[in-house]
Chain A
Amino acid sequence: MATTTQTTSAHHGDHGHAAHGPELQHHFETPAQQKEAATLGMWAFLVTEVMLFGGIFLAYAVYRWAFPDVWAEAAHHLNTPLGTVNTVVLLVSSLTVALAVNAAEHGRRTRLLQLLGVTLVLGVAFLGIKAFEYSEKFAHCAGYKTPIAWATGGELLGEQECLVPGRAFAFPAEHGAATEEHASTNKTPHQLFYLLYFIATGLHAVHMLIGLTIVSILTFLAWRGFFTPTYFTPVEIGGLYWHLIDVVWVFLFPLFYLVH
């Protein structure tokens, strides 16, 4: 710049940290700037996450449009009650995270710890239920009715059903006798539905794991008294991430479980 003047700014080159807390990194001028950067960064990151799932949603849309009947038929074989429970679990966890951010803002450390703890429990519960749903599908492929039966050698599944895509895939025959005659071929678009189901929910579960790690770290930091009413940005942006996971599920649930 031709006419640039050097002025004294709030933050001097000698990196004195007198005016603010130690959490201000050297390259930021003010805590407000740092917070703005962190928040914007998280939002930008959330956009990348939306685009990541967007690819799956696009594939979903293309195939649902191509095979509407198959989609409706296939969706009936997902465990909708468990999916509903999981939706409720996640929505409640979003609430607890929002309350946790609020607690951090008001400097209520015990409450913050409690709410983060509840969030962790809910997150683990979600993954537990998800794991049960998955193992149910694998148990059916092995010929057992439930995962427990599979482990203990218990009750067998009456009809042949295997909803895990692959060579053993077998979609149970429902419509007329014709399908039985030609049971030899399992190469139907039903597999596409379950593939997308496993990929989308699997990717979501991976994000849950990352989210749980973040909340665990936040809990640890909160326990150490790291956050103050003036500095709780990590709780805020961690919360944003958790909400994103929640929102993705809110889309996944109806798209996979509630298709007619």
Chain B
Amino acid sequence: MATTALPGRGYLEDDTPTVWSWVKAWLLTVDHKRIAILYLLSINFFFLLGGLAATVVRIELVTPQGDLLSSDLYNRAFTLHGIIMVFFFLIPVIPAVLGNFLVPLMIGARDLAFPRLNLLSWYLYMAGGIFALSAAVFGGVDTGWTFYTPFSSTYANSNVILTIAGAFIMGFSSIATGLNFIVTIHTMRAPGMTWFRLPLFIWASYATSLIIVLATPVVGITLLLLAIERLWGVGIFDPALGGDPVLFQHLFWFYSHPAVYIMILPGFGVISELIATFSRRRIFGYEFIAFSSMAIALLGFLVWGHHMFVSSQSVYAGLVFSFITMLVAIPSAIKVFNWTATLYKGSISYRTPMLYALGFIGLFVIGGLTGIFLGVVAIDIHVTDTYFVVAHFHYVMVGGTIMAYLGGLHFWWPKMTGRMYNEVWGGISALVIFVGFNMTFFPQFVLGYLGMPRRYHVYPQEFQVLHVLSSSGATVLAIGFIVPIIYLMFSLWKGKPAGNNPWEATGLEWQVSSPPPTHNFTRIPVVTSEAYAFPPEAAERDAASWRPGSPL
């Protein structure tokens, strides 16, 4: 393993004489790694805000009478939770934080193709966030994150326009990132870095970027049409004019279903990296994992109608969408099986990132399987718009994306900061999150099948037990999310230096110093081997070197 420290100053270091020039050096940086850090801070800030809204919702639901909040406040709380989590956390989180940091490093490039566009994307993200937050400050918005017409266009008296503006601007930020990744991956791979030598995280990021570029403009125009309807007073979704309010749903889900894959595909990429590294062997079925990402990206565009099985869609449309939805299950299953097979004959260590990765598989399997329930129209009719759906997408989004994000963050934290975090606390918090998560969301499957509709502020008495269970799980989950913030921050001061490659992983990012120098590579590396090229005996050697007292 080449671990020679390369000359060049770490990207975090500055020789700025004044505070002001230091601030400028960060806020006007075009270094993809610094932009990733800017994103890390801002996205986590939004995550905490969204989490706060979720906390309010969960506390309210402890009692069935709706006695903590007024119904308007409750509606604003869950809308805020949805909008922040979807648009300002889940969609950007892995691409903008981990992707920004890793894509150039992993393919052997000095930066993304358009560094200034990259910085612009962060400013757009912040601008979008400020719009969405100002909407919340000036009284909130109560349409739900889905903005269904005609409620959002005509009937809601809340800050719909401000919120839409936020989501719209945020869309440009996504597009800028996606476009940057596509161009970078196409044109800036190091010599010898062929497509089939790319780390799977790059494949996943590439598939994600394709979705972003193709789908985001559609939600852009949809939100624009909605804004016009609100401002102008007449609109193309207005049933009074012969317009079709359901057309909005078609356009909205044409983006928002692929957006689900924008959230989860990068997560798949992260998990592939983690499983290979901590099994100390090459990933099983590399090509199948790579192509399944592309298959998901493609099929993801053909299933939007499964959000609308009860929206007065025709029977034929329902059947077609249901059929294609069943097909999406296959590439996801292929990934899970290949990850499992990678464990076979590996030398597995239970480091924090690996715990997250294993947790991811468990939760994602449940999320994916319940997705099949929802894809079967006859069952969907009963469970759609109930807590069953809520539980399902939280299993995919929180159990999938957030577990992958946290796993990835722990895995690359030493690379990003040059410091190791406390492994014991890392393991504990991963377990707490796993347990808390299941406590929160598993009861919601039962609630949903019992018929508890979502977005309900007041609910019948018989659902209380399960709601209380769910809320108590949320408490555990909240603790699980707060602990990493503390020990990760702490590691910045007290963590022991990480060295270039603390996990003995493969990949170009581990060959540069930690933290990496400003321009990544002094000389562009030439790649001569495949991804995860652990020598055949790596697993055996790793196991043989284990002594009591070595990390588990």
Query: Which residues of chain A in 11-63 are interfacial with respect to chain B, using CB atoms and an 8 Å cutoff?
Result: 11-13, 25-29, 33, 36-37, 40-41, 44-45, 47-49, 51-56, 58-59, 62-63
B217 at the interface (CB under 8 A from A): yes
Is A4 touching B508 in the complex (CB atoms < 8 A)?
A: yes
Q: A27-B111, A48-B213, A55-B251 are in contact. Are A1 and B511 (CB under 8 A)?
A: yes
Binary A-proximity of B395-426 (CB < 8 A = 1, otherwise 0): 00000000000000000000000000000000
List the B side residues contacting A1 at CB < 8 Å. 506-508, 511, 525, 527-529, 533
A199 at the interface (CB under 8 A from B): yes
Tell me the complex Cα distance, A63–B244, Å: 9
Tell me the complex Cα distance, A52–B175, Å: 12
> What class of interface size applies to chain B in its complex with A?
35 or more
> What class of interface size applies to chain A in its complex with B?
35 or more
List the B side residues contacting A139 at CB < 8 Å. none
List the A side residues contacting B186 at CB < 8 Å. 36-37, 40
Binary A-proximity of B507-548 (CB < 8 A = 1, otherwise 0): 110010000000101111111110001110000000000000
A69 to chain B, nearest CB (A): 12
B187 at the interface (CB under 8 A from A): yes
Tell me the complex Cα distance, A252–B375, Å: 37
Query: A9, A33, A67, A199: which contacts B523 (Cβ < 8 A)?
Result: A9
Tell me the complex Cα distance, A58–B221, Å: 11
Tell me the complex Cα distance, A4–B523, Å: 12
A6 to chain B, nearest CB (A): 5
Is A58 touching B251 in the complex (CB atoms < 8 A)?
A: yes
Is B221 touching A2 in the complex (CB atoms < 8 A)?
A: no
B232 at the interface (CB under 8 A from A): yes
Query: A3, A59, A62, A187: which contacts B241 (Cβ < 8 A)?
Result: A187
Is B8 touching A13 in the complex (CB atoms < 8 A)?
A: yes
A152 at the interface (CB under 8 A from B): no
Tell me the complex Cα distance, A188–B232, Å: 16
Is A189 touching B527 in the complex (CB atoms < 8 A)?
A: no
Which of A75-83, A95-103, A190-198, A207-215 is the interface stretch?
Answer: A190-198
List the B side residues contacting A63 at CB < 8 Å. 236, 242-244
Tell me the complex Cα distance, A29–B104, Å: 13
Query: B215, B244, B533: which contacts A3 (Cβ < 8 A)?
Result: B533
Tell me the complex Cα distance, A6–B419, Å: 26
Is B251 touching A44 in the complex (CB atoms < 8 A)?
A: no
A134 to chain B, nearest CB (A): 14
Is B175 touching A48 in the complex (CB atoms < 8 A)?
A: yes
Is A166 touching B232 in the complex (CB atoms < 8 A)?
A: yes
Query: Which residues of chain A in 72-122 are interfacial with respect to chain B, using CB atoms and an 8 Å cutoff?
Result: none
In chain A, what residue has the closest Cβ to B530? A1
Is A2 touching B225 in the complex (CB atoms < 8 A)?
A: no
A5 at the interface (CB under 8 A from B): yes
Is A48 touching B234 in the complex (CB atoms < 8 A)?
A: no
List the A side residues contacting B508 at CB < 8 Å. 1, 4
In chain B, what residue has the closest Cβ to A7? B526
Q: A27-B109, A37-B113, A51-B214 are in contact. Are A4 and B511 (CB under 8 A)?
A: yes
Tell me the complex Cα distance, A55–B421, Å: 47
B220 at the interface (CB under 8 A from A): yes
Tell me the complex Cα distance, A91–B221, Å: 26
Tell me the complex Cα distance, A5–B528, Å: 8
B516 to chain A, nearest CB (A): 13
A165 at the interface (CB under 8 A from B): yes
Tell me the complex Cα distance, A5–B242, Å: 67
Query: B236, B506, B533: which contacts A192 (Cβ < 8 A)?
Result: B236
List the B side residues contacting A40 at CB < 8 Å. 182-183, 186-187
List the A side residues contacting B216 at CB < 8 Å. 48, 51
B107 to chain A, nearest CB (A): 11
B381 at the interface (CB under 8 A from A): no
A255 to chain B, nearest CB (A): 15
A225 to chain B, nearest CB (A): 23
Is B242 touching A188 in the complex (CB atoms < 8 A)?
A: yes
B77 at the interface (CB under 8 A from A): no
Given contacts A37-B184, A51-B218, A66-B244, 19 further A-B contacts (CB under 8 A): A2-B506, A3-B528, A4-B2, A5-B526, A6-B523, A13-B522, A37-B113, A37-B114, A37-B188, A48-B213, A53-B221, A56-B225, A63-B236, A166-B233, A169-B234, A192-B236, A195-B236, A199-B228, A203-B224
> Which residues on B are within 8 Å of A, measured CB to CB?
1-2, 8, 104, 109-115, 175, 179-180, 182-184, 186-188, 191, 213-218, 220-222, 224-225, 228, 232-236, 240-244, 247, 250-251, 506-508, 511, 519, 521-529, 533-535
Pull 15 A–B residue pairs with CB atoms less than 8 Å apart, ordered by A: A1-B506, A4-B511, A13-B8, A13-B522, A41-B113, A48-B179, A51-B215, A51-B217, A55-B222, A56-B221, A59-B236, A63-B236, A165-B234, A167-B233, A196-B236
> Which residues on A are within 8 Å of B, measured CB to CB?
1-9, 11-13, 25-29, 33, 36-37, 40-41, 44-45, 47-49, 51-56, 58-59, 62-63, 66-67, 165-167, 169, 187-189, 191-192, 195-196, 199, 203
